[in-house]
Structure 1
Amino acid sequence: MSITLAGECMVTRPFSVHSEPDFVQVLDRLRSAELTYAHVETNFGHFSEVAAPARGDQVGSYFLTDPQVATDLRQAGVDIVSLANNHSVDFGAAGISSTVRHCDAAGMAHAGTGRDLEEAREPAYLETRQGRVALVSVSSGNKSHEWASQPKAGLPGRAGVNPLRPEMRFLVEQEAAEQLKRIGSALGILRETKAGAEGSSGLLMHAEQGEFSLAMANDQSTTGSNLWRQSDHFEILSSSNKWDFSGNLRSVAEAATMADLVLVAHHFSVSEGPRGNQPPRFVREFAHACIDEGADIFIGHGWHKTLGIEIYRGKPIVYGLGNFFAQSEFVRRVPYDAYETWGHDIERLSTLTPAAHPLHPGLDQGSETWWSSAVLDLELDGGELQSIRLNPVELGRPVGRKAVRRPVGHGERPLTDGRPFTAYGEDAEAILDRYKRLSADFGTSMVIEGETGVIKV
């Protein structure tokens, strides 16, 4: 079976009208595979279908895309998509419903969101000539109102994403721990295990003996996001919420029982400190557990960066697919919240338009990874991985440079087309060298053959 993996589709413009050879070549690669997967990081819907924006203070784009784009993706060869990500609930339950509806209408199987947790967590199934395919889609980094929930006592479940909630522990040396406690005590925000201080409100619900938390003013009505532990070194340890972890492994086990090929897609927008070049500890633990439970391919994304490839028990773990479309600059209608968050004068709201800058994170910068990635072709024989071929693509800018190769518009700050074209020369070399270097950290050997990379198992 030939399987093609495409990355994060922040796609906001219909694209079937385009016919440039280097663009068509990429789409033909998707069409030629027996199974093509992509991650959809937008909502499909008409403005009349969705409710008010469901989030306020997040520094990011609000994605709502013409449903025609779902049809374009299907015509480009995309068979199955993951929908769970940190933008899934941009437009509330109505946005989730419209996205699902338009994926169904386009003929793309999908997983990761739903009217309640059971629906969001269940595998998607796709019948192919080579066998039955299943996909489980998971998201880490969403806020609490975005997590799908179960119905209870006649109350309906909450629509949302299938979550894998991370828990972060901050290890600090003794002197630093004492200083943190002193500061926290002086400010009245120190919470220690079993202290029972007023205002804790669950901050220590996940704490182990000896751990403490700082009850930041905006966190005092939540289960908190910081647990501190005295140690002999500095480190951030990430782990998964135990209920999310076990619940998602049950979905993987179900898929392994009921399908011939199981994909798990994990969108993680959180990190242990800066978004570096290595996946968080909790992501790697989850990936290994999914393979142990019966998954055949693990697909990571969320940092908008390409990360290394690990072969674990003969199965591929792709920790970061990177961007396949990057078109957040072309969102047609931007909500009030985005203008306020990005510092625009909201007293002049009626004069502000989606052409204002800034409204989206980091798009006017040169980036080693935002404007490039690779389409991965996997070959399986009898369910066993034989090879992975990496085909580099660029999205409208030379890799790592601020220059715009395919500009759009006539403004002082050119917008970037954001569609994937075949990468050549220095661009292809930079993309493949990064994959080769980061995959070597996992013991994976990649050979560069011309302007493609090859991993043989």
Structure 2
Amino acid sequence: MLTQRISPNPDADFLALVEMLRKTDVTITNVEMVFPGRGRMASTTMHGIPCGVEPGLLSEFEWLGIDIYGMGHNHATDYGVSGLVASIEALEARGLTYAGVGRTLQEARAPRYFDAPDCRVAYIAAGSSNARLCLAADPSVGDVGRPGTAPLRVQKPITSGRSGSTNCARSWRRQASMSLRRERLPLVFTFHILTRTSTMDLRREGLRSRA
């Protein structure tokens, strides 16, 4: 989350971290805020503190070397659907790749693609927190759909004790799998920083995915 410019920071360790981000094949971030622009008004259905900044701060993400922006989070509609649409337009105006939100549910669930020098990455984002209040919708009779996030609905049983914790984890996985089948949502695990080194390590261990 960025609320002010960080590019003027002269700290050597910080700049070394930035250089590492820039040198990766693909760098992905969960933005966890929106860019509603001027005249923004917080929604009555916000999740906690409304998180919104001026669209101009997107230049700081670009300076960091971010390639893909995950927008399927619980703050997506902190400034209503108009604030989300303004954020989508700000990302698109800069040609930035984002996922997890859209003007319709189909758009929000769609994979987005990023072409790196040596690979092509497909990215899908979804949110489980606050999903009910910022859920996107597809067009129906008489309306054009609703901007929002791609939802991931899960049920989280609560148990206590060591054995209960194990059973809870197993139950959670079963419930998540059932929810995904009902909603026809893909379950995706990603590394947020993909480096040439990690790719080499995977190949060395024989774990690299084969097309």
Is TM > 0.5 for Structure 1 vs Structure 2? Answer: yes
- Kindly provide the amino acid, as one letter, of the partner of residue 248 in structure 1: L
TM-score scaled by structure 2?
0.79
Q: Could you tell me which of 385, 391, 395 is aligned with 2:202?
A: 385
Structure (1 or 2) with the larger CA radius of gyration: 1
Say whether residues 1:32 and 2:49 are aligned partners: no
Cα distance in 2 for partners of 1:119, 1:242 equals 23
Q: Could you tell me which of 1, 4, 11 is aligned with 1:13?
A: 4
Structure-to-structure mapping, 1:332-343, within 5 angstroms = none
The corresponding residue for 1:64 is 52
Q: 1:39 to 1:129 in 2, by over 3 A?
A: same
Cα distance in 1 for partners of 2:44, 2:178 equals 27
Count, aligned residues: 198
Cα distance in 2 for partners of 1:94, 1:241 equals 33
Structure-to-structure mapping, 1:45-444, within 5 angstroms = 45-48=36-39, 50-55=40-45, 58=47, 60-169=48-157, 236=168, 237-238=171-172, 239-240=175-176, 242=178, 244-245=180-181, 247-249=184-186, 286=187, 290=188, 298-299=189-190, 377=195, 379-380=198-199, 385-386=202-203
RMSD: 3.0
Cα distance in 2 for partners of 1:93, 1:170 equals 33
The DSSP-based 3-state class of the residue aligned with 2:27 is strand
Structure 1 residue 108 displacement after superposition: 2.2
Structure 1 residue 99 displacement after superposition: 1.6
Structure 1 residue 54 displacement after superposition: 4.1
Single out whichever of 133-142 and 163-172 deviates more from structure 2: 163-172
**How far does the alpha carbon of each residue in 1:74-103 deviate from its partner, in whole angstroms, 9 at most, with x for none?**
122111111111111111111211222222
Structure 1 residue 68 displacement after superposition: 2.1
Structure 1 residue 456 displacement after superposition: 10
Between Structure 1 and Structure 2, the one with more helix by share is 2
Cα distance in 2 for partners of 1:241, 1:33 equals 32
Cα distance in 1 for partners of 2:76, 2:2 equals 14
Cα distance in 2 for partners of 1:45, 1:385 equals 40
**How far does the alpha carbon of each residue in 1:194-245 deviate from its partner, in whole angstroms, 9 at most, with x for none?**
xxxxxxxxxxxxxxxxxxxxxxxxxxxxxxxxxxxxxxx7864432384644
The DSSP-based 3-state class of the residue aligned with 2:36 is coil
Is the 1:116–1:149 contact (alpha carbons within 8 Å) kept by the matching residues of 2?
Answer: yes
**How far does the alpha carbon of each residue in 1:326-372 deviate from its partner, in whole angstroms, 9 at most, with x for none?**
xxxxxxxxxxxxxxxxxxxxxxxxxxxxxxxxxxxxxxxxxxxxxxx
Is the 2:42–2:50 contact (alpha carbons within 8 Å) kept by the matching residues of 1?
Answer: no
Structure 1 residue 62 displacement after superposition: 1.2
Is the 2:25–2:194 contact (alpha carbons within 8 Å) kept by the matching residues of 1?
Answer: no
Structure 1 residue 158 displacement after superposition: 2.0
The corresponding residue for 2:33 is 42
**How far does the alpha carbon of each residue in 1:134-170 deviate from its partner, in whole angstroms, 9 at most, with x for none?**
1100111214231112222232322111001112445
Cα distance in 1 for partners of 2:7, 2:95 equals 16
Say whether residues 1:23 and 2:11 are aligned partners: no
**How far does the alpha carbon of each residue in 1:371-428 deviate from its partner, in whole angstroms, 9 at most, with x for none?**
xxxx7745325xx8348xxxxxxxxxxxxxxxxxxxxxxxxxxxxxxxxxxxxxxxxx
Q: 1:156 to 1:242 in 2, by over 3 A?
A: farther
Higher RCO, 1 or 2 (CA under 8 Å, sep at least 6)? 2
Cα distance in 1 for partners of 2:178, 2:102 equals 21
Structure 1 residue 21 displacement after superposition: 1.0
Is the 1:117–1:160 contact (alpha carbons within 8 Å) kept by the matching residues of 2?
Answer: yes
Between Structure 1 and Structure 2, the one with more strand by share is 1
Structure 1 residue 70 displacement after superposition: 0.8
TM-score scaled by structure 1?
0.39
Is the 2:131–2:151 contact (alpha carbons within 8 Å) kept by the matching residues of 1?
Answer: no
Is the 1:71–1:106 contact (alpha carbons within 8 Å) kept by the matching residues of 2?
Answer: no
The DSSP-based 3-state class of the residue aligned with 1:70 is helix
